[in-house]
Amino acid sequence: MSIWEYANPKRFMQTSGWALPYLTVASAVCLVVGLVWGFFFTPDDFRQGSTVKIIYLHVPSALMAINAWLMMLVASLIWLVRRHHVSALAAKAAAPVGVTMTLIALATGAIWGQPMWGTYWAWDPRLTSFLILFLFYLGYMALWAAIEDPDTAADLTSVLCLVGSVFALLSRYAVNFWNQGLHQGASLSLDKEENVADVFYFPLLVSIAGFVLLFVALVLLRTRTEIRARRLSALRARERAS
Amino acid sequence: MIALLRRDLILAIRAGGGFGLGLAFFLILVVLVPFGVGPSQAMLAAIAPGILWIGALLSCLLSLDRIFQLDYEDGTLDILATSPMPLEALATIKALAHWITTGLPLTLTAPFLGILLNLPWEANIWLIASLALGTPALSALGTFGAALTVGLKRGGLLISLLVLPLYVPTLIFGAETVRRGAEGLPATTPLMLLAGITAGTLAILPFATAAALRANLR
């Protein structure tokens, strides 16, 4: 039993079909618990009032926006090295989910920024690099959409994903040089000292778990759709040939 | 390889528009900016570094889709790919030819356009240095974008979406160098970072370009 068995589309369909309902329910439970707990059962912040509660959407979606790209990077590498089609399709499936997470993070940040910083948008390093990440997602998806041959498209988007990762990272540090930050530091890190207070911390963890599960469930669902679409086009091609 | 470079350069010159078009675009952009933001000399001086760098970026973009397109259509690219020369070398030569026809003339004419935008005279040395060090990276990244979209009918718009985000680090450090130069601050730090990004790009991108070409020619 190794992870490579799931490179077989049939095995992947079986296992993901079995796991998908559990994942969906788990993510729904985590999201509802985390968000309701966060929105209604935590105190208002001393300075920020109730606007602090947007953290339960903002931090998990920002986290997943970056992790979705990381997942696409790993899947692209697997496609380039071992040429498993499921992996390429998973990368394709993750991109729209990732771009949605990026948009949620940007939008919630803007909504929070208006009362707190007095502006919807500032050219702060973190905000700017997120916008650049958003552009990278768009380019990646546009390239998938533009190329007809699926294998060529998978190859080209994988190479773009690798190059894009390097330059997204470079941009992340380049914008630090370019402008000073307005955005606060990490609210979550392994270094306990920096974290938000416990009363906000635990519901945040639950809603992060919810977002992770949601991402996994959505990617599995979309990958299954892609596999079915691929099978359908193969069937059609066979019918046309006969 | 030298023969290929010479061929590309001669084609660019004789086909018309290779040298001239990018430069003319750069000039028009610089002429249009004062109409857009008003003729105040102080304002123009403040935005000149950014405008000149963005102009260089956009004029680079203009000729990208022609790097491989013609060769792909008439089959030259297939012959080049089957020749003993590695595709990585082909990618490097193509990027070099693109740089000689766009990046180099831009670097040389930018100071004159700087006069139009009231860029301080001391900044010119930084402008030339940053463009000379930065535009090779623009050409290498652009060649990569061109290789990604070579098989497409209308790749022009897609190239800009793919390539412009990759230009961000170069633009940041390039424009920062000129801005610091214009304000009389020490500008060597961004210049060195710019050179580092260019060196890294030149080292990595030919391999990515070759990989993209291989996928497209298969």
Coil, strand or helix at A49: strand
User: A161: pLDDT confidence band, cut at 50, 70 and 90?
Assistant: very high
Chain B residues whose CB is inside 8 A of the A167 CB are 165-166, 168-169
User: Which residue of chain B is at minimal alpha-carbon distance from A164?
Assistant: B166
Of B158, B168, B173, the CB nearest to A132: B168
Q: Which of B158, B165, B208 sits opposite A146 (nearest CB)?
A: B158
Residues of B with CB under 8 A from a CB of A: 144, 148-149, 151-152, 155, 158, 161-162, 164-166, 168-169, 172-173, 176, 190, 193, 197, 204-205, 208, 211-212, 215-216, 218
- Say what the pLDDT of residue A125 is: 81
Are B208 and A164 an interchain contact pair (Cβ–Cβ within 8 Å)? no
What average pLDDT score do residues A125-137 get?
89
Predicted local confidence at residue A193, as pLDDT:
53
Q: What is the pLDDT of residues A200-242, one digit of tens each?
A: 778 888 999 999 999 999 999 999 999 999 999 999 999 998 8
Q: What percent of chain A has pLDDT over 70?
A: 89
> Is the CB of B215 less than 8 angstroms away from the CB of A146?
no
Closest alpha carbon to B143 in B93, B73, B216 = B93
* Residue-level pLDDT at A149: 87
Q: Pick the range with the lowest mean pLDDT from A29-38, A46-55, B113-122.
A: A46-55
Task: List chain B residues with pLDDT less than 70.
Answer: 15-19
Q: Which residue has the tokens 């969906």?
A: A24
Interface test with B, best of A73, A132, A134, A167 (most B CBs within 10 A): A167
User: pLDDT, tens digit, for every residue of A62-98?
Assistant: 999 999 999 999 999 999 998 888 999 999 999 999 9
A-chain CB neighbours of B203 within 8 Å are none
A139 touching chain B per CB within 8 A: yes
CATH (residue range A19-241) = 1.20.120
Which secondary-structure segment (H or E) carries B115? helix B104-116
CA distance A141 to chain B (A): 10
Question: What pLDDT is stored for residue B114 in this prediction?
Answer: 87
pLDDT (0 to 100) of residue B202: 93
Q: What pLDDT was estimated at residue A102?
A: 94
What does the pLDDT read at residue A181?
A: 63
The answer to whether the CB atoms of B166 and A147 lie below 8 A apart is no
Q: Is A127 at the interface with chain B, CB within 8 A?
A: no
CA dist., res. A174 & res. A96, Å (int)? 26
Confidence grade of residue A197 (pLDDT, cut at 50, 70, 90): low
Confidence of residue A32 (pLDDT cuts 50, 70, 90): very high
Give the C-alpha separation, B37 to B57, whole Å: 20
Chain A CB contacts of B88 below 8 Å: none
Contact between residue A159 and residue B212 where contact means Cβ atoms under 8 Å apart: yes
Q: Which range is most confident: A104-118, A127-141, A173-187, B147-161?
A: A127-141
The alpha carbon of residue A156 is apart from the nearest alpha carbon of chain B, in Å, by 6
